[in-house]
């Protein structure tokens, strides 16, 4: 019995490779850093408001943000189906580019529609103190449309095992958000914090365009 089990064990030993586990750990480490930075980008603005601007401002900003982030629900659902879809389009770059273009256009249009409906709701059902901050809804909604476009490209980078690029983009996003919140907050208050979120998603997209990473 022992001899028989030993033969079976030898059969599976070649499948156990330290190198494979190390590669998996290295990839996971890079991706986890990127995911943490992505979370920081999305949370830092609200954390800053709650910590430094008091409960009244936190309530105003949080409410406007929630309306704007409805776009996040839509783009997250599309992002889940994106990688399986582009796997089917492997070596069909023109089709992938068209899919990115039309999905991006869809995101921008829908984000504006969602924000408009939310603003109508705010003016009809929320107290007057919220009315002065309606533009934040548009800023956040369009920000998440841009974030959705970034996720389309990040899906391609991950599929192509460009994990360092994925993390680099999240570093740019997180640093941009933190720096601009500190700069914009004293100048234009809650609107400055919302704009920091917008630019934190826009700058990585501009970086991809300028460096032609997608073309590579």
Number of H helices, E strands in the chain: 7, 0
Judge whether 160 and 93 are in contact, CB under 8 Å: no
pTM: 0.80
Runs of H (alpha helix) within 53-133: 54-68, 70-88, 93-125
With residues binned 3-state (H G I as helix, E B as strand, rest as coil), the percentages for the chain, rounded to 5, are 90, 0, 10
Q: Are the C-beta atoms of 197 and 140 separated by less than 8 Å?
A: yes
One pLDDT digit (tens) per residue for the chain, 216 residues: 444 444 554 554 454 554 544 444 445 555 555 556 666 667 778 788 888 887 888 889 999 999 999 998 899 888 888 888 888 887 788 989 999 999 999 999 999 999 999 999 999 999 999 999 999 999 999 999 999 999 999 888 888 888 888 888 888 898 899 899 999 998 999 999 999 999 999 999 999 988 865 554
Q: How far apart, in whole angstroms, are the C-alpha atoms of residue 125 and residue 147? A: 29
Q: Which of 166, 148, 138, 140 is nearest to 99 (CA)?
A: 148
Residues 131 and 124: their CA atoms lie apart, in Å, by 10
Report the distance separating Cα 189 and Cα 48, nearest Å. Answer: 11
Phi, psi at 212, each rounded to 5°? 55, 30
Residues 6+ apart with CB under 8 A from 141: 67, 68, 69, 70, 71, 111, 112, 114, 115, 118
């Amino acid at each position: 019995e022992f001899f028989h089990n030993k033969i079976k064990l030898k059969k599976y030993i070649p499948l156990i490779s330290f190198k494979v586990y190390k590669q998996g750990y290295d990839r996971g480490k890079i991706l986890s850093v990127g995911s943490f930075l992505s979370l920081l980008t999305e949370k830092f603005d609200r954390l800053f408001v709650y910590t430094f601007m008091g409960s009244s401002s936190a309530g105003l900003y949080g409410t406007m943000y929630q309306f704007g982030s409805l776009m996040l629900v839509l783009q997250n659902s599309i992002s889940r189906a994106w990688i399986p879809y582009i796997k089917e389009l492997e070596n069909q770059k023109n089709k992938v580019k068209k899919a990115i273009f039309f999905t991006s256009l869809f995101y921008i249009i829908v984000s504006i529609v969602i924000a408009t409906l939310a603003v109508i709701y705010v003016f009809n059902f929320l107290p007057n103190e919220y009315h002065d901050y309606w533009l934040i809804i548009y800023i956040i909604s369009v920000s998440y449309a841009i974030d959705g476009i970034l996720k389309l490209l990040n899906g391609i980078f991950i599929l192509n095992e460009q994990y360092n690029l994925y993390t680099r983009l999240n570093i740019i996003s997180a640093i941009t958000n933190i720096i601009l919140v500190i700069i914009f907050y004293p100048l234009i208050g809650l609107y400055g914090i919302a704009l920091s979120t917008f630019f934190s998603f826009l700058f990585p997209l501009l970086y991809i365009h300028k460096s032609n990473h997608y073309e590579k």
